[in-house]
């Protein structure tokens, strides 16, 4: 992380948004790993866990961290509204100059945040983790059926909605605050298709999007049904170009 984002500046440098639905078994480890990682960094940050109407003890687990560490915050939605809605609520509440959302299962090691942050420092408005780009420094561990369906899904997305993005669905995306707070309140997709809609709107706004190969490991217990959810997502995604968003601001104007 940049020295300019140290605690001494008095400015909140980073917000980490973690959507969680029935994650009592996994959220604790993810929080432990994240807190341990940042304990070694001189950077001011907050963690916002958004409970998406969980029916288990997710809120209770997160609340124990909130009581010990004020930098951990719990935002609880009254009912299950979908991953997109949960992430959006967390991003809108985030105060950091840079905002990242990541999955509660810890599939992407927190250390990978460095790869994204370098792209933001280099001038990108958005940096997204990619499981599809090859790099000798990274490895993807997953089952072949999930990889195959993911590739087919992304090919359709590239053809009809969003060209030249190798992996739209990886749950590890970083934004400059000024961009995130313009995009997320405009989202119409409340569930898994929201990743594509984010990038679609960002392109319309003229944002620089950097795609970065990362380490990623398939963690058992995914809430995504590869068959049924992919079908619903595909239908949702194909409607994105036909939605009415009104006049979108251009990033060049927002930065001036």
DSSP type of residue 249? P
Give me the pLDDT at residue 152, please: 85
Give me the pLDDT at residue 9, please: 42
- Neighbour count for residue 235 (Cβ, 10 Å): 10
- Tens of pLDDT along 151-205? 888 899 999 999 999 999 999 999 999 999 999 999 999 988 999 999 999 999 9
Number of residues in the chain: 256
Give me the pLDDT at residue 211, please: 98
Give me the pLDDT at residue 228, please: 64
Nearest-angstrom CA–CA distance, 92 and 123: 22
Give me the pLDDT at residue 2, please: 47
Give me the pLDDT at residue 219, please: 81
Nearest-angstrom CA–CA distance, 37 and 41: 7
- Alpha carbon distances (Å) from 70 to 45, 168, 243: 11, 33, 40
Give me the pLDDT at residue 145, please: 72
Question: What 3-state DSSP class applies to 178?
Answer: helix
Closest CA to 98 of 73, 127, 69: 127
C-beta separation of 91 from 101 below 8 A: yes
Residue range 3-254 forms a domain whose CATH class is alpha beta
Nearest-angstrom CA–CA distance, 138 and 112: 10
The predicted model scores a pTM of: 0.92
Nearest-angstrom CA–CA distance, 191 and 194: 6
pLDDT (tens, 9 = 90+) of the chain, 256 residues, equals 544 443 334 578 999 999 999 999 999 999 999 999 999 999 999 999 999 999 999 999 999 999 999 999 999 999 999 999 999 999 999 999 999 999 999 999 999 999 999 999 999 999 999 999 989 999 888 876 777 777 888 899 999 999 999 999 999 999 999 999 999 999 999 988 999 999 999 999 999 999 999 999 988 766 666 566 677 888 899 999 999 999 999 999 999 7
C-beta separation of 124 from 210 below 8 A: yes
Nearest-angstrom CA–CA distance, 73 and 62: 8
Tokens encoding 3: 């020295």
Give long-range contacts, CB 8 A cutoff, 24+ apart: 74-80: 74/48, 74/49, 75/48, 75/49, 75/50, 75/51, 76/50, 76/51, 77/50, 77/51, 77/52, 77/53, 78/53, 79/53, 80/21, 80/52, 80/53, 80/54
Backbone angles phi, psi at 228, to 5 degrees: -70, -40
Give me the pLDDT at residue 98, please: 98
Nearest-angstrom CA–CA distance, 212 and 158: 17
């Amino acid at each position: 992380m940049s020295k300019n984002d140290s605690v001494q500046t008095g400015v909140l440098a980073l917000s980490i948004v973690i959507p969680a639905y029935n994650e009592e078994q996994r959220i604790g480890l993810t929080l432990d790993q994240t807190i341990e990682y940042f304990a070694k960094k001189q950077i001011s940050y907050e963690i916002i866990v958004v409970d998406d109407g969980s029916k288990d003890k997710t809120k209770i687990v997160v609340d124990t961290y909130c009581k010990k560490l004020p930098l951990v915050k719990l935002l609880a939605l009254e009912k299950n509204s979908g991953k997109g809605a949960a992430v959006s609520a967390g991003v809108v509440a985030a105060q950091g100059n840079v905002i990242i959302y990541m999955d509660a299962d810890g599939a992407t090691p927190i250390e990978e945040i460095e790869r994204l942050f370098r792209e933001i420092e280099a001038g990108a408005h958005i940096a997204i983790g990619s499981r599809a780009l090859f790099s000798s420094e990274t490895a993807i561990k997953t089952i072949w059926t999930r990889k195959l369906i993911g590739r087919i899904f992304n090919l359709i997305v590239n053809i009809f909605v969003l060209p030249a993005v190798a992996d739209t669905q990886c749950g590890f995306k970083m934004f400059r605050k000024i961009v995130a707070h313009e995009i997320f309140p405009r989202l119409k997709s409340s569930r898994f298709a929201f990743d594509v809609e984010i990038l679609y709107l960002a392109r319309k706004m003229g944002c620089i999007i950097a795609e970065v190969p990362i380490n990623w490991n398939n963690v058992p217990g995914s809430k995504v049904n590869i068959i049924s959810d992919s079908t619903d997502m595909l239908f949702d995604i194909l409607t994105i170009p036909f939605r009415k968003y009104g006049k979108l601001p251009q990033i060049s104007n927002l930065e001036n």
